[in-house]
Amino acid sequence: MAHGLVRIIVNPISGRGHDRRFVEALARHLSLRAFPVEMMPTGRPGHAHDLARETPEEARCVVSIGGDGTHREVLSGLVGRSVPACIVPSGTENVLGRTFGLTGTLRETAALIQHGRTVDVDVGLAGDRPFVMFSGVGFDAEVAREVQRRRHGPIIRAAYYGPIVRKLVHYDFPLITVTVDGQRLADDAGVVFIANTPLYGGRIRFAPRARGDDGLFDVVCFRTPSRWQMLMHYMRTWRGTHMDHPLVAAARGKRIEVTCAQRDLPVQADGDVVATTPLVYTLRPKAVRLLIRPDAAT
């Protein structure tokens, strides 16, 4: 890649967004090596998407500094384009960064921009809303919605504890119907995950065999006849033994239909609530490009 423009998109309410020394040091390092640099903080929901979409096609890359929600917006703005994204994980969970082995240090980020290799990654669509990692229907989306509603600054992990406990006590698990490529997978699921990559928050792997470049979703449905069973699902998932349980149904496919006859359910994608059921998921194979270390596994 030539020494094209490096556009740095920063979410100022993420952890690293507050660290101006990091951003300024990165910009100085790149400028000394003859890279034109633009620093662009986000100011509203969807702003990162717009800034990424407006990046010139000849740019070297877009640097995304923020949490997984910021990265989702940046990548959604680069769908179908040749401009790669350089991910700097600085949020609460940093699932995307951990998926690709990124630590977000200054040395690593500078090396990625200068010498990183690109990989093409699938993009899921929850309706028309792009996501790169995972989507959840029902319980976890309700938790995400409450966390978003109460957010006034950077989200810390403890912000999820209260909503999880409250939802677990009061949530009435509905019956969710899931169809994968025209085949009924479940009609009594309580929680549903549609995964493009394997990791979830807290280092949990709901879909341990998911790959971001295979052109397929991994769908995992948990039947939840009781709140106690939901807790047991969580424990089995933490241990990595959930996939063989009789109350878990899993499949892989390209088109996923999710409905609930009892009520419309919230849907989260990469941690942000983006839609409600009924919903159709589709996949765009290898639709965005990421910069990763030359020696990183894919």
CATH number corresponding to 6-115: 3.40.50.10330
CA distance 256 to 277: 12
- Tabulate helix, strand, coil % of the chain (nearest 5): 30, 30, 35
- The per-residue pLDDT for 3 is 73
- The per-residue pLDDT for 30 is 94
Q: Is 270 exposed, middle or buried, given 0-12, 13-18 or 19+ CB atoms closer than 10 A?
A: buried
CA distance 40 to 11: 9
CA distance 264 to 270: 20
- The per-residue pLDDT for 272 is 87
**Residue 254 in tokens:** 């390209």
Locate the domains of the chain by residue range. Answer: 6-115, 129-285
CA distance 260 to 41: 39
Q: Please report, to the nearest 10 degrees, the dihedral formed by the alpha carbons of residues 232, 161, 69, 204 taken in order.
A: -30
The DSSP result for 183-199, as a single string, is EEEEEEESEEEEESSS-
- The per-residue pLDDT for 72 is 93
User: Using 50, 70 and 90 to split pLDDT, how confident is the model at 34?
Assistant: very high
User: What is the CATH T-level fold of the domain 129-285, as seen in this structure?
Assistant: Tumour Suppressor Smad4 (2.60.200)
Digit-coded pLDDT (tens) for 105-121: 999 999 999 998 999 99
User: Using 50, 70 and 90 to split pLDDT, how confident is the model at 247?
Assistant: very high
* Whether the Cβ atoms of residue 16 and residue 65 lie closer than 8 Å to each other: yes
The DSSP result for 119-142, as a single string, is EEEEEEEETTEEESSEEEESHHHH
